């Protein structure tokens, strides 16, 4: 559909947003930021020309909104293909087992498990930052210094949220924005503050930071517990063989561990213990990959502005 040529920055961005309708919100945010940054630079550099001449030049050099949207779609498709994890081949007979254990060949399973451990650290940092920033902003609100403190706090929070999004994209593959939301035309300090307060992303970002502490604790405890259980059951056969051979077991004072129930101290019990430990560890890898994928989609809903 042929649209009239844009005659202002707002019209250009509106047409670009419409041309990208249905695409990933993170992609739209990146495209709108790049376009607005370029448009405002071009308008400022050609302040002596008419709007028609300036936007005719922009359409020739940068492209019409439909052309820019098509270029972003094409680039996004190429990037997805390049970053997509290889799909393991399926065999006919042991298909279920191969799919179950193929998680060990997926790099995202390891990165997701790493994120479950890292989330305890990031959760503490985010929670402390959000609580401290909110307390300082409210406590200093009656003073002149309260305003710059609040603005700095919100600005840093947006930078951190952008970094958190890139981390989640790296570990889960969920598309996150690579550009922040453009601040728009410099309308003055008071207008900028009002816009920050009206922007839902300002508050949903703080909610995400505050929630990351309990979420991070839950992730860390789950990962540590599952790894400890899986590793313990996989080590039981080694302990049993070491005791049968008369080797010293360093973590027991008398060099002997009593198995309870006793049938675990048999070759059959060793096999069952080893199998159970492998199942627990492999299930943890699947769980971590799925959980972090859900976490990334929830984070996108809180950190990314839907254009």
> How large is the average pLDDT for residues 144-173?
88
pLDDT higher than threshold 80 for residue 305: no
pLDDT in tens, 69-83: 888 889 888 877 766
Spatial CB neighbours of 260, under 8 Å, sequence gap ≥ 6: none
pLDDT higher than threshold 50 for residue 231: yes
Distance CA 170, CA 303 (A): 16
Burial of 284 (0-12, 13-18, 19+ CB in 10 A): buried
**Does residue 157 contact residue 201 with C-beta atoms inside 8 Å?**
no
Percent share of the chain, pLDDT over 90: 30
pLDDT higher than threshold 70 for residue 118: yes
Three-state SS across 231-260?
HHHHHHHHHHHHHHCCCCCCCCCCCCCCCC
Of 178-182, 198-202, 220-224, minimum mean pLDDT range? 178-182
Instruction: Tell me how crowded residue 305 is: count the other CB atoms within 10 A of its CB.
Output: 17
Instruction: Give, as one character, the DSSP assignment of residue 67.
Output: H
Average pLDDT, the chain: 83
Distance CA 280, CA 222 (A): 12
Spatial CB neighbours of 60, under 8 Å, sequence gap ≥ 6: none
> How large is the average pLDDT for residues 10-39?
87
Burial of 207 (0-12, 13-18, 19+ CB in 10 A): exposed
pLDDT of residue 93: 43
Q: What is the pTM of this model?
A: 0.78
Of 3-7, 44-48, 105-109, 115-119, minimum mean pLDDT range? 3-7
Q: Does residue 200 sit in helix, strand or coil?
A: helix
pLDDT of residue 42: 83
Percentages of the chain per state (helix, strand, coil), in multiples of 5:
75, 0, 25
> How large is the average pLDDT for residues 3-20?
83
pLDDT of residue 184: 66
Name the nearest CA neighbour of 17 among 32, 27, 7.
32
What is the band of 236 on the pLDDT scale with cuts at 50, 70, 90? confident
Of 124-138, 168-182, 229-243, 258-272, minimum mean pLDDT range? 258-272
What is the band of 259 on the pLDDT scale with cuts at 50, 70, 90? low
């Amino acid at each position: 559909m042929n649209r009239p040529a844009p005659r202002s920055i707002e019209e250009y961005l509106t047409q670009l947003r419409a041309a990208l309708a249905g695409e990933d919100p993170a992609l739209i945010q990146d495209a709108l930021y790049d376009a607005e940054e370029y448009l405002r630079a071009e308008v400022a550099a050609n302040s002596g020309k008419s709007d028609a001449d300036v936007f005719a030049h922009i359409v020739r050099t940068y492209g019409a909104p439909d052309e820019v949207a098509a270029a972003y779609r094409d680039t996004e498709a190429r990037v997805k293909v390049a970053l997509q994890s290889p799909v393991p081949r399926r065999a006919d007979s042991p298909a279920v087992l191969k799919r179950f254990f193929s998680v060990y060949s997926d790099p995202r399973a390891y990165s997701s498990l790493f994120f479950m451990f890292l989330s305890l650290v990031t959760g503490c940092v985010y929670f402390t930052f959000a609580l401290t920033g909110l307390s300082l902003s409210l406590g200093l609100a009656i003073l002149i210094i309260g305003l710059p403190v609040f603005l700095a706090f919100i600005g840093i929070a947006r930078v951190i949220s952008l970094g958190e999004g890139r981390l989640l994209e790296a570990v889960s593959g969920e598309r996150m924005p690579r550009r922040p939301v453009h601040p728009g035309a410099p309308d003055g300090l008071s207008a900028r503050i009002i816009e920050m307060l009206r922007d839902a992303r300002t508050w949903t970002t703080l909610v995400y930071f505050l929630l990351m502490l309990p979420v991070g604790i839950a992730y860390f405890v789950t990962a540590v517990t599952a790894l400890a259980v899986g590793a313990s059951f996989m080590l039981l056969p080694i302990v049993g063989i070491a005791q049968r051979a008369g080797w010293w077991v360093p973590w027991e004072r008398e060099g002997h561990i009593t198995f309870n129930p006793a049938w675990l101290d048999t070759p059959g019990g060793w096999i069952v213990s080893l199998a159970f430990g492998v199942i627990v560890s492999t299930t943890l890898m699947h769980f971590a990959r799925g959980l972090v994928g859900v976490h990334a989609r929830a984070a996108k809903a809180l950190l990314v502005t839907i254009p």
